[in-house]
């Protein structure tokens, strides 16, 4: 079947919650993918910050294949060497205190669900009970009911209300956060860089203020590193420079790049205040911690370490941002490492929403990017992306923008 025939079958057989896909992808190598008609694209989105190692990395393929032939699933009545090893590795590379523990999930939204349950249980055990959870305006934490309750975007929330209550949204400024805190707050959940909002880093000093305020009010600090973690920003955690040692967050959630393309999530419970909250029977998952996901996670970390991909994300990302900034039609470039947001200069376009058209034009010219807003683009390429691919995109982007301007 060709691409159009497959797309027609997709519309016939799959629930349209994602809208119509633009391509049918059949294979990939490194930072490129190929569609069902044989056309190849440079993937500058990386499965939305998932495919840290790109496609078909031999170490990752060998590790997952070997594990598939050995053991694919066991129930959580048991554990496996891979599960124990990955938990130990995660606690080590993230600088977790000795009190740190790990709970494995299958996705980022599940990791955040677990974290929110932990916060709620912490609040309910206090005297008097703490009934409020704080989340940030413009934040995104997932699509399941609990995670959605902490996600601020009205378009995501409204069709499913009433959502679980007790969540108050705060503008991401230190002043607003200080005003919102009181002793009835059970916890605060935040992203160090708000990815779905257009790759907006939190203001200088915000993370330190969040740690101080949660400590002062006996609340838990949850840092959602689902999109920013595991090397995406050139560090294992985007928050690692500020929230470390005695200032470590109570909970960190991970997913996306952690599995290098295999579904996996994790809740890292860092502090003694947090590790004592949940006990046997309080939470669970059938597939979380399965051996295949654990093998994928271990292989991903191994490649990031062996190939120096943290440093590479920093240097390549800086070069990409430096190359984007002077392009005519680009108003602002934000981000860290290989998580980059680009605001377009609306004065140069005939529409207030040029970003989707730029995405379409870029795809027609062999580049996969995405729009997080009417005038905002996001790049999150594999950490292994080659300089030639970045150079090609920087060379093509002015022509892409010119094509959209002329419409």
Residues labelled as active-site residues: 140, 224, 256
C-alpha pair distances (Å), 93 with each of 45, 230, 269, 277, 395: 25, 9, 14, 24, 37
Q: Which residues pair with 348 in a beta bridge?
A: none
Alpha helices in 325-366 (DSSP H): 355-364
Question: Residue 385: which of 332, 284, 307, 322 has the closest Cα?
Answer: 307
Strand-strand pairing, 185-190 and 132-136: parallel
Sign, CA dihedral 85-86-91-93, equals positive
Q: Identify whether the C-beta of residue 232 lies closer than 8 Å to the C-beta of residue 82.
A: no
Kindly provide the b/e burial profile for residues 25-47, where b requires at least 16 CB atoms within 10 angstroms of the residue's own CB: beebebbbbbbbeeeebbbbbbb
Q: How many CA atoms lie within 13 A of 165 on its CB side?
A: 3
The Cα–Cα gap between 61 and 17 comes to 30
Q: Identify whether the C-beta of residue 230 lies closer than 8 Å to the C-beta of residue 201.
A: no
Q: Identify whether the C-beta of residue 385 lies closer than 8 Å to the C-beta of residue 54.
A: yes
CB atoms within 10 A of CB 343: 17
Q: What are phi and psi of 113, to 5 degrees?
A: -60, -45
DSSP state of 245: G
Sign, CA dihedral 45-48-53-58, equals negative
Q: At what angle do helices 81-93 and 291-306 cross, to 10 degrees?
A: 40
Report helix, strand or coil for 185.
strand
Token pair, residue 246, equals 């005695």
| Dihedral angle over CA of 152, 156, 161, 163, nearest 10 | -50
């Amino acid at each position: 079947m060709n691409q159009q025939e497959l797309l027609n079958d997709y519309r016939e057989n799959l629930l349209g919650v994602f809208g119509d896909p633009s391509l049918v992808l059949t294979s990939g190598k490194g930072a490129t993918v190929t569609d069902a008609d044989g056309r190849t694209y440079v993937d500058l989105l990386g499965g939305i910050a998932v495919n840290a190692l790109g496609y078909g990395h031999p170490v990752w393929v060998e590790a997952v294949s070997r594990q598939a032939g050995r053991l694919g699933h066991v129930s959580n009545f048991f554990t496996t060497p891979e599960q124990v090893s990955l938990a130990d590795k995660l606690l080590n590379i993230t600088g977790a205190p000795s009190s740190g523990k790990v709970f494995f999930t299958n996705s980022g939204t599940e990791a955040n669900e677990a974290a929110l349950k932990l916060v709620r249980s912490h609040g309910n055990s206090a005297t008097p009970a703490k009934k409020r959870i704080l989340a940030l305006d413009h934040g995104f934490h997932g699509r399941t009911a609990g995670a959605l309750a902490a996600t601020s975007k009205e378009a995501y929330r409204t069709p499913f209300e009433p959502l679980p209550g007790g969540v108050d949204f705060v503008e991401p400024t230190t002043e607003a956060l200080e005003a919102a805190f009181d002793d009835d707050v059970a916890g605060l959940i935040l992203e160090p860089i708000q990815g779905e909002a257009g790759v907006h880093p939190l203001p200088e000093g915000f993370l330190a203020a969040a740690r101080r305020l949660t400590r002062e009010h006996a609340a838990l600090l949850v840092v959602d590193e689902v999109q920013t973690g595991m090397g995406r920003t050139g560090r294992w955690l985007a928050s690692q420079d500020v929230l470390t040692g005695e200032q470590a967050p109570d909970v960190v959630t991970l997913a996306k790049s952690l599995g290098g393309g295999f579904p996996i999530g994790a809740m890292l419970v860092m502090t003694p205040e947090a590790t004592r909250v949940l006990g046997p029977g309080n939470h669970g998952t059938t597939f979380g911690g399965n051996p295949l996901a654990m093998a994928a996670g271990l292989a991903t970390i191994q490649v990031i370490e062996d190939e120096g991909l943290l440093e590479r994300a920093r240097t390549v990302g800086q070069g990409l941002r430096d190359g984007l900034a002077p392009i005519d039609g680009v108003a602002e470039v934000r981000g860290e490492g290989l998580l980059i947001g680009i605001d377009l200069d609306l004065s140069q376009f005939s529409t207030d929403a040029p970003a989707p058209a730029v995405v379409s034009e870029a795809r027609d010219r062999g580049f996969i990017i995405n729009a997080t807003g009417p005038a905002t683009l996001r790049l999150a390429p594999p950490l292994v992306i080659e300089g030639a691919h970045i150079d090609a995109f920087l060379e093509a982007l002015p022509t892409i923008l010119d094509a959209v301007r002329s419409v």
